[in-house]
Chains A and B, each alone.
Chain A
């Protein structure tokens, strides 16, 4: 009898279209993971040991084939000096935009990620993962995408207007954010990350014209950098990315997370012949959290039906905290081939 594949072998084989025993389960868990080990969201975001514990438990119990250092988008913002509020049981946020007006861009400084408490905490998480998983599960570090980080510091609505009204200031800002992103990715790869996830959710709010003008080049640059560092890239843009699929196919990301509002078969097709593998795209609420086990099975089958030999399966975005455990177990069972 063949020895079962490790998650690492499964994910890496699937990326290359080689045989696997199970389609990799790439579910993204944060609040759900914290719940499994009964910790507050604040603890999850501030104590790397508990975060690691929660992700390892999630991997073991629910068959998730990666462990990831993702918790919230405000680690780099804290590093830049934003006042980040850490609610007991909610996602950290900035009370005030650090870049209240565009003249403040010049005051932003790229910092050593290891000098920032919140960024260092993520690096420590990766080091601990590395010592725990012993090469059997891929470790995913995380950085904010340039556009997402700009939104964290400036506010979403303000950023959207700035793209139209102040393009030169935006480029000036993005260059600083890119340098910070690269520095943060580097220390995570050095700490043992096999992948760097790039979270750029806000990019689904802009169309192909602005994505081409402001985002594509930065995605390509950081992805090339991360590849040169020796890691792979998982690009996460939740929301409706269907209008920019053609551009995303040019990013050279290894994995792209496809949200549930996107036609999965179109995404798979858009990435044919490129390096990028489509991962997705069950609706985390209606097809996983609120669904019956039978509905979960149907939703997974629907994705497998359109999958190619490299496609991976997960919720289109984060698995909600109150998702029934049984649904997650059932979803994983259904991924075995």
Chain B
């Protein structure tokens, strides 16, 4: 990694979006490939993910880092598309029906992007039909469901049932998480994986779809 890419990596971790955006363009002008810059950004986010898991940084710092990463990604996006660089997999994510909490889901989404996935974020209060339609449209390999309430976590099962009814269950892995959700609950409703936090979710996603 040259000096500019190293700076992108470090400044991204510090959440300095303006400098990451500027240096991403500098890196392009210096001849770095879009993949080089992408790797500098993703490895930075990976470090942030580990620090978050270890309670060395917290939600505000993660959001700032993700914002900086997205700034850099916007700069190199046209080049990535022109060079045909593909993501390591597609993930559909959402907070389940009846639940309007988004912070946990957003953190998972950021960690997934940081791990190199293409993320289709359906937002909050997502119906089973919306998950199924998004899966059909995107051909994603993984569905992530989030719930913060004991009253809404039960709706995760309805999504799995909708996947079964539409004949898509065998085409996709299902991962669930959120404060009240447990591994036992994941097994009970037929999910493939429970993730206990945002960083673990990205790690488990890689394992689930064998990247």
Contact = CB atoms under 8 A, between A and B. Distances in A.
A83 to B, nearest CB: 14
Contacts of A65: none
Contact of A205 (B15, B103, B150): B103
B106 interface: yes
B60 A163 contact: yes
Contacts of B55: 207, 240, 242-243
Nearest to A238: B179
Nearest to B102: A157
Interface in A238-294: 239-240, 242-243, 284-286, 289-290
Contacts of B100: 93
A320 interface: yes
A321 interface: yes
Given A90-B98, A91-B149, A161-B64, A285 B58 contact: no
Contacts of B181: 285
A285 B64 contact: no
Contact of A210 (B58, B180, B182): B58
Contacts of A242: 55
Given A90-B151, A206-B59, A320-B180, A157 B98 contact: no
B150 A156 contact: no
B67 interface: yes
B63 A160 contact: yes
Nearest to A159: B60
Nearest to A319: B150
Contacts of B207: none
Given A31-B151, A157-B106, A242-B55, A286 B60 contact: no
A42 B103 CA distance: 25
11 contacts: A90-B151, A160-B60, A161-B67, A164-B63, A205-B58, A205-B60, A207-B57, A210-B60, A285-B150, A286-B184, A289-B150
Given A207-B58, A240-B55, 15 more contacts: A160-B59, A160-B63, A160-B103, A161-B60, A161-B64, A163-B60, A205-B59, A205-B103, A206-B58, A206-B60, A284-B150, A284-B180, A285-B150, A285-B182, A290-B185
